[in-house]
């Protein structure tokens, strides 16, 4: 079959004519990714599921902008800012417990009048044995301890919930309460020196008050409580798992019980 020259020239022109750019027929893949508006999925699947979730180290106020800082709870839990002292805020908190217990005894003795100046514990106790109000100091001490217990649980729970932290380091109301328990529990009149004489309410009240002013007793109680609070023997660690403020406070109460037992032994064997 013969092809005419006209047809041959048309076919040659169609073959030699340049076609459309390749990128128009088959777009470059890299260009489509750059221009894509599809959001990139985060690597952390948990963050994708809940992007507003924060870590436990972030205050809860960042999760809820309407939440206000519980200032009263902070003032109580930090023992009026003592928890911010460095180093060792727990040690400073224990010192507050010693000072508070000693100061309450001093104020109570001074309220009884000047007849207690320059007197020994037994002479002072004998002097007021018939005065009924003098037996109230143990009850006052117990009331103050229970007050710190309730305030500690309440403020600890508020701060733990607000900060999202289980046991913030600046919370020292637990050390204050644990130190109180150490000093008071060690003086319960069982197997103490001259325990028969201390059976009378006023005599025991005087013994309790003057003991809380004895620097050897206070120093020994302070050191013992700090040792047990740091070592946290069984079951202190488990008590930390209690919810809210109970977990913050209970382990220090247990440390206070251990310290009180050792302090009681020191009193029994006249080491103080």
In angstroms, the CA 192 to CA 269 distance is: 9
pLDDT digits (tens, 9 = 90+) for 117-172: 545 544 554 444 444 455 788 888 999 999 999 999 999 999 999 998 888 999 99
Average pLDDT, the chain: 76
- Residue 5 in any domain: the answer is no
**What pLDDT is attached to residue 188?**
84
Is 118 within a domain?
Answer: yes
- Measure the CA–CA gap between 68 and 59, rounded to whole angstroms: 11
Residue whose token pair is 């207690």? 116
Q: In this structure, is residue 128 part of a structural domain?
A: yes
24: pLDDT strictly greater than 90: no
Using pLDDT thresholds of 50, 70 and 90, give the confidence band for residue 180. Answer: very high
Show Cβ contacts of residue 166 under 8 Å, excluding neighbours closer than 6 positions.
Answer: 56, 160, 240, 247
Cis peptide preceding 235, ω within 30 of 0: yes
CA distances from 43 to 2, 40, 47, 49, 189 (A): 69, 9, 8, 11, 65
Q: Where are the alpha helices (DSSP H) in the chain?
A: 5-16, 22-25, 29-35, 45-49, 71-77, 89-111, 121-127, 137-163, 173-185, 201-211, 215-231, 236-239, 244-268
| Residue 40 forms part of a structural domain | no
- Tokens standing for residue 241: 């798992």
The answer to whether residue 76 sits within a structural domain is no
Is residue 60 in some structural domain?
no
Residue 133 CA neighbour count, 13 Å, CB half: 5
Total Cβ atoms within 10 A of residue 214: 15
Q: Is 64 within a domain?
A: no
Distance CA 264, CA 206 (A): 18
pTM over 0.95: no
Write out the residue range of the structural domain in which residue 160 sits: 93-268
Compute CA distances 144 → 147, 166, 169, whole Å: 5, 26, 24
Q: pLDDT-derived band of residue 46, with 50, 70 and 90 as boundaries?
A: very low
How many whole angstroms separate alpha carbon 185 and alpha carbon 246? 20
Cis peptide before 87 (omega within 30 of 0): yes
Asked whether residue 113 carries a pLDDT value surpassing 80, the answer given is: no
DSSP code per residue over 3-21: PPHHHHHHHHHHHHS----
Q: Is residue 34 pLDDT above 60, yes or no?
A: no
Over range 175-186, report the average pLDDT. 95
Considering its fold, how many domains does the chain have in total? 1
Nearest to residue 262, comparing CAs of 227, 238, 235? 227
What CA–CA distance (Å, rounded) separates 245 from 158? 8
Q: What is the pLDDT of residues 200-232, one digit of tens each?
A: 667 778 888 889 999 999 999 999 999 999 999
Residue 178 within any structural domain of the chain: yes
pLDDT tens per residue, range 68-101 = 889 999 999 999 999 999 899 999 999 999 999 9
């Amino acid at each position: 079959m013969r092809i005419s020259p006209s047809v041959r020239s048309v076919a040659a022109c169609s073959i030699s004519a340049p076609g459309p750019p390749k990128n128009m027929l088959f777009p470059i893949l890299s260009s489509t990714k750059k221009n894509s508006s599809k959001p990139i999925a985060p690597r952390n699947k948990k963050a994708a599921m809940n992007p507003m979730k924060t870590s436990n180290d972030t205050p809860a106020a960042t999760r809820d902008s309407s939440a206000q800082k519980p200032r009263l709870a902070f003032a109580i839990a930090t023992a009026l800012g003592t928890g911010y002292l460095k180093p060792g805020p727990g040690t400073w908190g224990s010192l507050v417990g010693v000072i508070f217990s000693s100061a309450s005894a001093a104020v109570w003795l001074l309220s009884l009048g000047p007849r207690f100046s320059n007197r020994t514990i037994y002479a002072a106790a004998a002097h007021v044995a018939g005065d009924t109000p003098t037996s109230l100091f143990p009850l006052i001490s117990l009331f103050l301890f229970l007050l710190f217990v309730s305030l500690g649980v309440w403020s600890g729970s508020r701060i733990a919930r607000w900060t999202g932290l289980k046991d913030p380091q600046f919370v020292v109301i637990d050390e204050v309460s644990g130190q109180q328990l150490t000093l008071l529990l060690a003086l319960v009149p069982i197997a103490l020196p001259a325990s028969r004489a201390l059976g009378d309410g006023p005599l025991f009240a005087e013994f309790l008050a003057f003991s809380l002013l004895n620097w050897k007793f206070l120093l020994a109680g302070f050191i013992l409580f700090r040792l047990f609070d740091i070592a946290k023997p069984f079951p202190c660690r488990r008590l930390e798992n209690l919810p809210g403020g109970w977990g913050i406070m209970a382990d220090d109460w247990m440390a206070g019980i251990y310290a009180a037992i050792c302090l009681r032994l020191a009193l029994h064997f006249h080491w103080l």
